[in-house]
A and B are shown apart, each in its own frame.
Chain A
Amino acid sequence: AQKITQTQPGMFVQEKEAVTLDCTYDTSDQSYGLFWYKQPSSGEMIFLIYQGSYDEQNATEGRYSLNFQKARKSANLVISASQLGDSAMYFCAMREYLTGNQFYFGTGTSLTVIP
């Protein structure tokens, strides 16, 4: 079974609008972390936001917020007030703290911001 599932290969959003990128995860660990990374065409993975499994509040970092629904095992990324520079690939990832040190990544969502 896939640890991380991103079902939206590509998304389009109008500049200044909000967009939600979907992510569901699969784990039996109680202690885990969920992350979103942005990968522009240059290739570097840029950390955006983190949510711990025990965090009760949804994480926010500037224009990024993470809609964490633990019972549904979903961790959707919301980008508010989209900018042209937000056009990139976005990856959801998970670390299971009790079983290892690696990240499990989804297949990514390509976001295009339209002027």
Chain B
Amino acid sequence: DTGVSQDPRHKITKRGQNVTFRCDPISEHNRLYWYRQTLGQGPEFLTYFQNEAQLEKSRLLSDRFSAERPKGSFSTLEIQRTEQGDSAMYLCASSATSGQPREANYGYTFGSGTRLTVV
């Protein structure tokens, strides 16, 4: 297990179509996070799971977005009826604990992201 894997790396879709992305975290990590990064910006938090429970959702996560982590392992992020404003890099990260007090030992590991282009 060499890191966080995301699939696909790139996705081009027509406006109005549904898309689904997958994230496979580091196997011993119980926490999984989704972030969105638009051009020229830093990543913005979308949601996070502890095991299979979705514990926090950002206001950025509109009702067209849904994330699941059914068995506490891999996660999927689905966007329904895509819009051009959804074009972004979608980053997944995992961690073993909240990290406090020595975050460096338990820090997030990010995947390489899925770059979505809606045309």
Q: Do A and B come from one complex?
A: yes
Q: Which of A's residues lie within 8 Å of B, judged by CB? A: 4, 31, 33, 35, 37, 42-47, 49-50, 52, 54, 59, 91, 93, 95, 97, 100-108
Contact check: which of A35, A43, A100 meets B89 at CB < 8 Å?
A43
Asked whether A108 and B42 contact (CB < 8 A) given A50-B104, A95-B103, A102-B48, the answer is yes
Q: Are B113 and A44 in contact (CB under 8 A)?
A: yes
Q: Judging by beta carbons under 8 Å apart, are A91 and B103 in contact?
A: no
Which positions in B face A, CB cutoff 8 Å?
31, 33, 35, 40-45, 48, 55-56, 58, 89, 91, 93, 98-104, 107-113, 115
Q: How far is the CA of A97 from the CA of B103 in the complex (A)?
A: 10
Contact, CB under 8 Å: B112 / A33: no
Find out whether the CB atom of B103 lies under 8 angstroms from the CB atom of A107. no
A33 touches B99 (CB 8 A): yes
Task: State the CA gap A4–B76 with chains docked (Å).
Answer: 29
Q: Which residues of B contact A91 (CB under 8 A)?
A: 42-43
Q: Which listed residue (B56, B91, B104) contacts A45, Cβ 8 A?
A: B91
Q: Are A102 and B112 in contact (CB under 8 A)?
A: no
Q: Pick 8 A–B contacts, CB within 8 A, sort by A.
A: A43-B89, A91-B42, A93-B42, A102-B48, A102-B56, A107-B42, A108-B41, A108-B42
